[in-house]
Amino acid sequence: MEETITFELIRRIQREEQRVPKLTKLPENFYSSLSSYLEQKRSLIKEDRKTALEIKNIERLIEDIFNRRERKILNSAIIAARTNIPSENLTDEEKEFFDKIVAWIKDRRNGGLKKMLSGEKEELVTMIVFKEDAPEFVGIDEKTYGPFKKGDITRLPEENMKVLIERGIVEEFKESK
């Protein structure tokens, strides 16, 4: 069911996100509908000073909803990585974000934590980012990796990483500060 976006609906969702510790159910296509609603309001800004104030309030509420949901998604991802309990009430955009975070957390836990607990020496690991889509493949360690989409960030065995860098499929991931 697609609900019509109004200031009142945005405010109600913001209050609900504020009140409830878990992610709340959003109307279908919420973010794209929000974007259209905001675009429509902005087109009226020349006509009315009151509308300009309303737009500022809408933007503030949207940012608050986004920030609260982002925090809840991160917390849910930590829980999901530890327990395999999936999160509920994610939009399609949020689901993609959630899945990437869970994969990253699991990768980190399976690498660093397990090595530390088993007494293995941890090596400095380089992260890579895919510059193009890549199919599933078996690494030098005989584990299956992928498939990967352009923009995915991961770790691979050193030998596989070197080959992919040479072929221009990946590059080292550098965090911007």
pLDDT of residue 1: 52
**Residue 177 pLDDT level (bands cut at 50, 70, 90):** very low
CA distance linking residue 54 with residue 8, whole number of Å? 11
Q: What is the pTM of this model?
A: 0.62
Q: Is the peptide bond before 147 cis (omega within 30 degrees of 0)?
A: yes
pLDDT of residue 66: 95
pLDDT tens for 90-103 read 999 999 999 999 98
Range ranked top by mean pLDDT from 28-42, 58-72, 78-92? 58-72
CB 104 within 8 A of CB 141: no
What lies within 8 Å, CB to CB, of 133 at 6+ separation is 147, 148, 149, 150
Instruction: Identify the DSSP state of 118.
Output: H
CA distance linking residue 129 with residue 116, whole number of Å? 26
Q: Which domains, and CATH codes, for the chain?
A: 7-106 (1.20.58.1030), 124-172 (3.40.5.50)
